[in-house]
């Protein structure tokens, strides 16, 4: 920090009487210039105070224009209902993080065709949307990216299983795990959402549908799960999605473990290329 007397001295230069000789004023200005520059540099290096994140009501207004949203995508998601349908919007997740030296806030919303409390049946499936706010150079929160309707939410408008995953030192993604069950037969999926070109996009989705679990077959069926792990980078950030499910009929379906590795390239998660086959004609490696 610049000592206060420097600033007082610099300010005093410009408060001298106008009748001060020109040569004296020029000398004073020349002497003060380095001090003013140092003061400006010191102020520029001070960290910007970032505002408190907006409350849910204000954040929803930034993303959807309010606590309800009318759009053709909403009507299509909820079975081709009237295009005048207004979905109710409710914030279900928020998490703050830093990406490429920018403070950000991830927000996730459930959308229901009416009050959420009235959309609780087992077959009632809400939609999920999300947005990213980012702090600007003045420390104010601005809308950075959004995906107002991305995917299906938890059955019965229940609690969402959401998490931020750090892919590498400079990149984060949203992970959403979905689980549904009907008379002991389970469906699970792992979804990865990433920010790209001002939008939030569904970058990957893997899962299984209608597989018999222990509640359907008893002890003869293995537990069914899904999971995501972040791997060390290859040509780009990598993840592995592991699905454990059962194939076949009760009372003893066959357990299966499916591992899928994907790499983030060109803004999309793509299957990791297989290692090249060895060339039989290649000379042996030197030892």
* Per-residue confidence band for 142, with pLDDT thresholds at 50, 70 and 90: very high
pLDDT for the residue numbered 30: 60
| Residue 57, phi-psi category: left (phi > 0), alpha (psi -120 to 50), beta (remainder) | alpha
Q: Which residues, 6 or more positions from 144, have their beta carbon under 8 angstroms from its beta carbon?
A: 104, 131, 132, 133, 134, 195, 198
246-258 residue pLDDT tens? 999 999 999 999 9
Closest CA relative to residue 206, chosen from 236, 155, 255, 243 = 243
pLDDT for the residue numbered 196: 92
User: Is 50 exceeded by the pLDDT of residue 31?
Assistant: yes
Mean pLDDT along residues 117-135: 95
User: Is 90 exceeded by the pLDDT of residue 84?
Assistant: no
Strands (E), 157-235: 161-168, 171-182, 185-196, 199-212, 225-231
d(CA 193, CA 195): 7
* Per-residue confidence band for 10, with pLDDT thresholds at 50, 70 and 90: very low
Closest CA relative to residue 260, chosen from 213, 214, 205, 210 = 205
Mean pLDDT along residues 158-183: 94
Q: Locate all alpha helices (DSSP H) within the chain, ordered by sequence.
A: 4-13, 22-45, 56-64, 72-77, 214-217
CB atoms within 10 A of CB 27: 13
pLDDT for the residue numbered 42: 52
* Per-residue confidence band for 90, with pLDDT thresholds at 50, 70 and 90: very high
Residue 240's SS3 state is strand
- Angle between helix 22-45 and 4-13 (nearest 10): 140
| Residues facing residue 231 across a β-bridge | 238
273-286 residue pLDDT tens? 764 444 444 455 44
Asked if residues 123 and 155 have their Cβ atoms less than 8 Å apart, the reply is: yes
150-165 residue pLDDT tens? 999 999 999 999 999 9
* Per-residue confidence band for 287, with pLDDT thresholds at 50, 70 and 90: very low
Helix, strand, coil in percent for the chain, rounding step 5:
20, 45, 35
pLDDT for the residue numbered 48: 78
């Amino acid at each position: 920090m610049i000592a206060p007397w420097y600033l007082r001295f610099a300010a005093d230069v410009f408060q001298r009487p106008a009748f001060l000789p020109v040569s004296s004023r020029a000398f004073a200005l020349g002497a003060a210039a380095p001090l003013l520059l140092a003061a400006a540099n010191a102020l520029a290096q001070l960290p910007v105070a970032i505002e408190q994140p907006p409350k849910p009501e204000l954040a929803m207004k930034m993303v959807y224009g309010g606590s309800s949203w009318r759009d053709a995508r909403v009507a299509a998601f909820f079975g081709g209902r009237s295009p005048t349908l207004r979905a109710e919007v409710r914030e279900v997740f928020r998490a703050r993080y830093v990406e490429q030296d920018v403070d950000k806030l991830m927000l996730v919303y459930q959308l229901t065709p009416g009050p959420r409390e009235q959309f609780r049946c087992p077959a009632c499936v809400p939609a999920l949307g999300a947005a990213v706010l980012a702090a600007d150079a003045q420390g104010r929160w601005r809308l950075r990216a959004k995906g107002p309707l991305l995917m299906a939410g938890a059955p019965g408008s229940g609690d969402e299983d959401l998490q931020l995953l750090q892919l590498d030192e400079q990149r984060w993604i949203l992970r959403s795990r979905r689980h549904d069950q009907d008379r002991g037969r389970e469906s699970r999926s792992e979804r990865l959402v990433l920010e790209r070109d001002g939008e939030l996009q569904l970058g990957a989705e893997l899962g299984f549908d209608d597989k018999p679990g222990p509640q359907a077959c008893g002890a003869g069926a293995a537990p069914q799960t899904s999971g995501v792990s972040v791997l060390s980078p290859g040509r780009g950030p990598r993840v592995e999605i592991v699905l454990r499910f059962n194939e076949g009929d009760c009372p003893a379906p066959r357990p299966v473990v499916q591992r899928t590795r994907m790499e983030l390239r060109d803004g999309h998660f793509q299957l990791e290329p297989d290692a090249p086959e060895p060339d039989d004609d290649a000379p042996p490696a030197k030892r």
